[in-house]
Structure 1
Amino acid sequence: MVVETGHAAVDAVLSSLANAARLAPAEQIAEYEAAHQVLQETLASIDR
Structure 2
Amino acid sequence: MASRPGPPPGVRPAPPLADGDLAEEGHPAVDAAVRAMVNAASLAPADQIAQYEAAYETLRETLATIDQA
TM-score interval, smaller chain: over 0.9
Corresponding residue pairs, total:
48
Residue identity matched to 2:27: H
CA RMSD, 1 decimal: 0.7
Gapped runs of 5+ residues in structure 1? none
Scaled by the length of structure 2, the TM-score of the pair is 0.66
Gapped runs of 5+ residues in structure 2? 1-20
List structure 1 segments (4+ residues) > 2 angstroms apart after TM superposition: none
- Aligned residue for 1:26, secondary structure, equals helix
Higher-Rg member (1/2): 2
Percent identity over paired residues = 58
Hey, what does 1:45 align to over in structure 2?
65
